[in-house]
Structure formats: structure tokens, C-alpha cells
Amino acid sequence: MSEDLDFLKEIIDEFLVDAAALSGAIDAGLAALEREPKTLAGVEEMANALYTLRMQAGFLDFDSLTAVALGMERMLDQARQGGLILGATALELLQQANQALGQMLEQLRTYDIHPLEVDELAARMQSAIDGTLEEDANATTVPAEEEELPEAKVAKIGGEPVEEEDLPRHDDVAEQEETEKSAEIAAEAVEAPLVSPPVAHEPTPAFEPELEEVEVIEGAISEDVADFIPDFLTESSEILDKLDEDLVRLEEASDDLELLNEIFRAAHTLKGTGAFLGFAQMSDLTHKMENVLDLLRKEEMQLNQGITDVILQGVDQIKILRADIENNAIVRRDMDDLRGNLLIIAETRGELLGGAPVLEEQIEQPAAEEEDAGVVISADASPPQAAPPPPPAPAARQADQVIRVDVDRIETIMNLTEELVLGRNRLLQLNDQLLTEHGEEELADRLNETTLQVDMLTGELQESVMKMRMVPVSRVFSRFPRMVRDLARDLDKQIELVVEDNDTEIDKSVADEIGDPLIHLIRNAVDHGVETPETRQQAGKEARGVVLLSAVHEGNHIVIRICDDGAGMDPEKLKQKGIEKGVLSEEDAAPMEAGDAYNLIFAPGFSTAEKVSGVSGRGVGMDVVKTNITRLSGTIDLDSTFGQGTEITIRLPLTLAIISGLQVGAGKEMFIIPLTSVIEAVRISQREIESLQGRKVIVSREKVLPLVELDKVLEIPGEANRAEIRYVVVVGLAERRVGILVDRLLRQVDVVIKALGDIVGPAEGIAGATILGDGRVCLILDVGDLIEMVDREKVQSSVVGSKITTV
């Protein structure tokens, strides 16, 4: 204890040195001001000195000092802005304040830590700022009891009602000596109900906190507002997502006023609409959040992790309320703890966070809030001012350029366009036929012209309609900062998520589907990729890990990358696991390159997590991710450097529904191979087909290319083709290449993919169907499936060692 005292004395000494100089500056400034109040001489000096003094005092928790200095600063500020005229009363007030400052500093010099009563002074300064100060040269001091400040006092310590003097005061230096005792008291204080004297101008809730009853009508939503609900749901969803994002950003940049205003506006909007639609619980909760946010943006409260947590809890609770609305079943939700916490935070300016579970963590840590949890003397004793109207949203300008369209309507236009494309195809065919048979006739010629024109227009229409469905990828990415934040905290890791979306846009249906795979991948990066701070530091890395999520256009594709600077993966370990799980044979493992080893992770049943954490690692994740990506006609690839990090690259086609394809013939049937997978098509002779380990291969570009015999793999009826000339379409997916063996190469086509549906069955190898110009249905091949089927053969043939069975 005595060491603390010595240390404390040292601190006080240092502070006093600075304070002396600052005090001098304040004196000088004040003197100048009194001589020429109208010119505001010396105000600049004073304000600067006060600011510095306040900062230092605040740092050392000398709250009375801070309060008085703040009051003076505010008055000067108001004067500078013209809102306060420094008349006799105001000047005298400043003098009094300055004297109080002096007194406090004097006290400190003798290490006298008795509290100085500054409440009424602070109150009067506030009145001056508000413009409600009585013009009375002899400003009478109002007795503290009647002043009625929203002061938080510990009602009980150890169960006994306590006298005011016994309460640990905020500016009490002794409190800092007895840190432990304060922490104890703080712990108890948080649990004990807190009572504050009522404020005259408004019925302040007693520090129970007293929560007013919220009237809830349970059950279905009333008819009169039913029309507004869909819009409300869409709007609120967007707002809530953005709130998550913004709040996480705010933690990093808690003084970003613009950000604070936006967050405040969001809560304000939710409150307004909630109230309008009669959602009492939502409007009550958002109102309480608004109060907290208001204090933050007026800089009357400092943001910390604890406060952010409570606000985020509020956001989560609103999501629950919103879900109830979506289900058309309003339920009374127990939010008293949360509402109470929000009230306490607002009333105590963040000194107390309330009794919510989240606080228990805080109590264990020797956080600064701990020691202050005894009493707060608020600098602002006035009634809460009406919040100045939020600045007009800059988004308003953009809003003119955007209209909301029902997805169904877009769907209709899309369908019509698709049909039009089919009609156009038929028209082109007939046109060709006509030209061939009646090319000399003028009519044929004119028809041709028009047909080509229609062709071009249809193409452009298609493109425009595609664009209508494009949504910014940031919409998908917006939820990740919050997710990473929460996850990192759960795992005690420090992780920064950097998002670079480059204003990239993707098709809405892709956006809907890509979310889940991305969640899984990012969770992996956080859970398994980035190491704990200790491990990282031992490895010579910064304690804080970085996960980068980026999206960019590359030609006809969208490329999404997830990179982390974490532990990376060991190819040998992956191979080992592969063998254990039966996905890989020993012989194949040895020569396998690192790149292929990394892609083992996408095989079903594969997971290298030592234990299955609640977060990820169940062994079903990565292959499902891959399936989802493949379903979107995309590819996924993984690269890693053991010890340094991992990079996952996802490639998605820009347009979902229409693809270019290569039409091929096998037996009597025809199929279409998506052009995005096609690398090249080669003509071969039957002789070039070799057998390797029971599989058919050819040698192409000095490499062995495994073949997919389409007629075998798809069980095409009819005799096997004995023609001399065959064709191999070389296709690639990520790093893998195979050759699809067909009988005929037909033509390149642009087709609308139609999904097959589940009715037909597994239909492995088939991605979808399309309707050709002549009305026939042609199936579109799934290159990924085909490659897998070929791999399976390989595994079976080497594991089983018998003849190849097609599965």
C-alpha cells in the first residue's frame, strides 16, 4: 500500500508541474478576457490550457478537476460560437471556476485528497452554456441537496446504508491508493441496486434502474400496418447489417464523428419506424440505445469495449424482434437486463455498465472503469438536451437514383428475356436455312438483315437484364467484420479483418448462395488459420493477425480471395490425413505436389482439426463449400505456405443463367460443355489413346492427360465408337485437367441454362439442360462432376485393384 502511495505522490508531483504552467496560462487568459470581454481576448489561450489540463487530469482520474475544466472550456466554446455572451455573471462564474481549479491544485500539493464540492459550480456552468443562467451578479450557490444532479451513488456497501462522506468519491486520490478496496466496492456496487437523487426537470429513473412497462400486444400484426411490413423488413435488415459493421469500425475509431452520427441516425430511424408501426418493444429499446449513442456523439461519454458490447447486444435483440415481426408473431421478449444496462450506461455516462453477464468479465480485469465505479460526478448536470437534428443524410442524394423493384418483377422480365433468346435462336436457324435455300431472293436478304438486328438487340437486352440483378458484393461482406470481431474475442485472438470489395457487383442469386461458404471459410481462417497472439509472437509475427477478404473483376469472372497471415498448412500432414481417411493412396501421396495436397482439403470427410471446435472443423465443411461453389459454376482453390498463411481463391462466372458452350456428340446423343472450363479441343486418332493403370489417357503437350470416356461415364446406349478419328475436349477446373473423349465436335452455342430439378435424381455429370433452337432438350455437362467421377475410378482401381467400375 505504501508503495502505491509513493508512486501516487510521484504522479501528483509530475502533474502539478504541468498544472502550474497551465494554471498560469488560464489566469493570464482570464485576465485578458475580463479586460476586453467583447473581443474574446485570451479565450484561445485559456481554452488550450484548459484542454490540456483536463486531459491530464482526466488521465489521472481527477474528476472534479476535469469537470470544472470542461465546464469552463464549454463556456468559452459557446462564447466563441456566439451562443454565450460573456457578461458580468458569466465572467464571475469563470472566475469562480478558476478559483476552484486553483484550490484543487493547492490541495493536491499537500496531497490533500479531500473532495471538493464542485457540483453546483458545474451545474451553473452548464446553465450558462444552456443560456439559462440567471443574470445575477451575486450568483448564489444552491445547496447541493436541492441541486438534484443525476449522480450515481453507491447506496449500500456491504449491506449498510452509507453516509455521503463515506462514499468513495471519484476525484478521491485515496481511492487510487486503495485500488483493491474500490474494486471490491465496485464489484458490489454493480450488483447492489444504485439509487440516484431525482432530477428536478424530469422523473429520472431511480437507479434500480426503473424500467417502465412496455405494452406488448402479442400475436399477429394488426391489419392496418400490414402493408408497411415488407418494406420495413427490408429496410431494417439493411440498417441492422450496416449497424453491425459500423459499430465494429467504431471500436477502432471511436472519435469518428461522422460514423457516430450515422450510427445514431440508424438507431433513430429504427426507433421512428418502430414507433410508427406500433412496435413498442422495438421503439423502447432503440430509444434507450439512441440515448447512449447521443451521449457518444456529443462526446459526453467515452466509448469502450464494454459499452460497444452492450450496444451490440441491443442490435442482436432488435434482430430478434425483427424476426418476430417477420413471422407475424409478436412475442413479449424479456429485455429488462439489456434495457437496464442501457439506462445505466446513459445515466452514469459509461462509468457503469450495468449488471449484464458481459460485465462479469470486466470485473475480473483491472480495467480503468473498475476503479471509478464508485461515484460519478457528471460534468453535465442539466436536463438532457433535445438532440440536435441529425445532419441530412448524404444518402438522400443517391436515393433519387435508385428505386426498389420487387424481385418477382425482375424474375418475370428475366423469364421473358430467356424466352426471347430462344425465339431468337430459332429465328437465326430458320434464317440460315432460308439463306441456304433461297439466298438469291431479295426477301431472304431483307429478312436476314432484320434477323441480325433482332439478334443484336436481344443480346443487349439480355445483358441489361443481367445487370439489373447485380448487387454489390459488399452486401454479402458487411456481416463479416462483426462476425470476426465476436469470434476473435471468443477465441482470445487478435484479428483484423480487412475488406476490399472494390465496388464489385455480383448476380443476386450468386450473392444469396455465396454467403454460407464464405462464412465457413472466414471462420476457418479465424479458428484454424490465425494463431493466438502468444504463438504468433513466438513465431516472430505481430500479435495481431490479418484476414483479408477481397473481391475483384477478372475478365468474365468475379474473383473472391480470403487470405490470412496465419499458420498455413503442412502439405505432408495433409497427405498423411488423406491416407488415413482413405481419400488418398500411399503411392499417389509420395509424388503429389503441394498444390494438389492443399486441395485434398476439399475431399469429403477430410478435416485436420485436432479437435472439433464449436466453431468449425467437423469434417463436412470444406467439401460442402466446394459443392456450393461448383453449383454456382465456380471454382475454388487453396494455396498455402506453412507457417506464413493461406490464400483461398474463389472464381465465379459473372452471369449465371446464360453460358457459352461447346456442343459435342457422343454416340447418338449430344451434350454441351461449358466454355469456361474448356481449355482446348484436339483431334486425335484412336491409336493415341493409351492405357495407364487401367485408365485411358493420352499424351498432350508432353503431359499425361487422363480421359473421361463420355459414352462410358454417362452410360450412353449404343455400340462403342470404333471410328478412327475422335476428339478430346481438354477441360480444366482449378489445377486439374482432364480430356473428355467424344465422337463429334459440333458448334459453339450460347444457351440459357435450365436447372434439372431433383426429380430426375442424382444425375451426376450433368449440370443442367437447355432447349436448342430446334426445340430439343440438350444436357449440359458438369465438368467438376466428371473429374470427380474419374478420380473415384482411379482411387477404386488402385485401392481395390480390380477392374474399373463406374459409379
Q: Contact positions toward another protein, by CB under 8 A?
A: 419, 422, 669, 713-717, 754, 756-757, 759-766, 769-771, 775-779
CB of 425 to another protein, least distance (A): 11
Q: Please give the helix or strand (H or E) that residue 546 lies within, else none.
A: strand 545-554
Return d(Cα 458, Cα 424) in angstroms, integer: 7
Nearest approach in angstroms of CB 271 to another protein is 39
Whether the CB-CB separation of 45 and 28 falls below 8 Å is answered with: yes
Q: Mind giving me the DSSP string for 21-65?
A: HHHHHHHHHHHHHHH-GGGTTTHHHHHHHHHHHHHHHHHTT-HHH
- Measured from the CB atom, the residue of 530 and 779 that comes closer to another protein is 779
Q: With respect to another protein, which residue has the nearer C-beta, 264 or 671?
A: 671
Smallest distance from another protein to CB 728, Å: 20
- Residue number, 148 or 418, with CB nearest to another protein: 418
Residue 574: which residues within 8 A CB-CB, separation 6 or more? 597, 598, 600, 601, 608
Contact between 782 and 767 under an 8 Å Cβ cutoff? The reply is: yes
Report, in Å, the least distance between residue 458 CB and another protein.
15
Residue 711 CB, nearest distance to another protein (Å)?
10
Q: Name the residue nearer to another protein (CB basis): 383 or 665.
A: 665
Q: Which is closer to another protein, CB of 183 or CB of 753?
A: 753
Contacts of 353 (CB under 8 A, 6+ apart): 190, 306, 307, 310, 341, 344, 345, 359, 362, 369
Nearer to another protein, 514 or 769 (CB): 769
Nearer to another protein, 761 or 801 (CB): 761
* Cβ–Cβ under 8 Å, residues 382 and 127: yes
Q: Which of 563, 566, 527, 559 is nearest to 548 (CA)?
A: 563
Q: How far is the CB of 792 from another protein (least distance, A)?
A: 13
Of 614 and 717, which has the nearer Cβ to another protein?
A: 717
Phi, psi of 463 (to 5 degrees): -60, -45
Least Å from the CB of residue 413 to another protein: 16
Q: How far, in Å, CA of 435 to CA of 437, rounded?
A: 6
Q: How far is CA 763 from the centre of its chain?
A: 38
Provide the minimum distance between the beta carbon of 415 and another protein in the complex, in angstroms, as a whole number. Answer: 9
Beta carbon nearer to another protein, 70 or 786: 786
Phi, psi of 636 (to 5 degrees): -135, 140
Answer for the pair 745, 664: CB distance below 8 angstroms, yes or no.
yes
The Cα–Cα gap between 630 and 783 comes to 9
- Return the number of the residue (703 or 803) whose C-beta is nearest another protein: 803
CB of 422 to another protein, least distance (A): 6
Instruction: Kindly state the smallest distance separating residue 713's Cβ from another protein, in Å.
Output: 8
- Rounded Cα distance, 541 and 19, in Å: 41
Closest distance of CB 693 from another protein, Å:
24
- Of residues 430 and 543, the one with the C-beta less far from another protein: 430
- Picking from 757, 750, 758, the residue whose alpha carbon sits closest to that of residue 417 is 750
Residue 273 or 770 having the CB closest to another protein? 770
Give yes or no for a cis peptide into 674 (omega within 30° of 0). Answer: no
Neighbours of 505 (CB within 10 A): 20
DSSP class of residue 411 equals H
Residue 343: half-sphere exposure toward Cβ, Cα within 13 Å: 23
Nearest distance in Å: CB 710, another protein: 10
In contact, 289 and 267? CB cutoff 8 Å: yes
How far, in Å, CA of 8 to CA of 56, rounded?
14
What are the backbone dihedrals phi and psi of residue 253, each rounded to the nearest 5 degrees, phi first? -135, 70
Residue nearer to another protein on the CB measure, 422 or 444? 422
Smallest distance from another protein to CB 757, Å: 6
Question: Can you read off the three cell numbers belonging to residue 186?
Answer: 465496485
Of 481, 563, 480, 567, nearest to 516 by C-alpha is 480
